[in-house]
Amino acid sequence: MKENFIVFPAIDLRRGLVVRLREGDPARQTVYSPSPADTARNWIDAGAAWLHVINLDGAFDQPDAANRNALQSILNGVHDTGRSVQFGGGLRSLRAVGEAFEMGVNRVVLSTLAVERPALITELVRQYGSERVAVSLDARDGKVQVHGWQSATTIQAIDLAQQLRDAGLAWLVYTDISRDGLQVGLNLDSTHEIAQATGLNVIASGGVKSQADIDAARRMGLAGVITGRALYEGAFNLNELFRDQIRKDDIS
């Protein structure tokens, strides 16, 4: 069983609002809050040690100033709590990653960059350290998709995960796109396979339905789980969900 298993509440930002999409489809959107900062505070007060914040407009190559402002408001509220934020979406250059860290992000989550410019992963790990850089492999039928899940590749997720491990990566998010936002249960078989094949700290994402999904991921030795729609729609006892989560992590 993984020590320090982490449950990451997802805060997906679109036009400055907290939303969730079904299977990553921007036409299938539900708005959950007009205030990302208040949402972040709710999850922190409930016991979350980390937040998983995604700039959907950046991922879709759309104007994202509202989301940047929302991210800063989240970070301002988290700053003195001892909690941490990992952030992704539209981070496709060294400059963009550097700007995220300057804002106060604890860990960046990269996706398209890892596929299109994989050599930069090694450089980013060297520059910032392996605890501060994660890659999200977002797959449909085992094949990676990029640009906000809108563009398919022929790359097998497990093959890319092994290459990323060899590049020095320590943290990986694996999302089964076909389950994301549908509350049909995690694809734990594929997620566990990647964790076993690579030895990476793998965070499961996509389709969390209930506490049983969280508990199964914990038993499998995964590093954590990202949950969105199920959390926002009240599927959990928050005291149970975030048990043992209130702690200060050793990255800043």
Amino acid at 92: R
Examine the residue annotation and report whether 80 is marked as an active-site residue of this protein.
no
Examine the residue annotation and report whether 138 is marked as an active-site residue of this protein.
yes
- Angle at Cα 34 formed by Cα 58 and Cα 96, nearest 5°? 20
- Active site residue: 57, 138, 180, 213, which one? 138
**Active site positions, annotated:** 12, 138
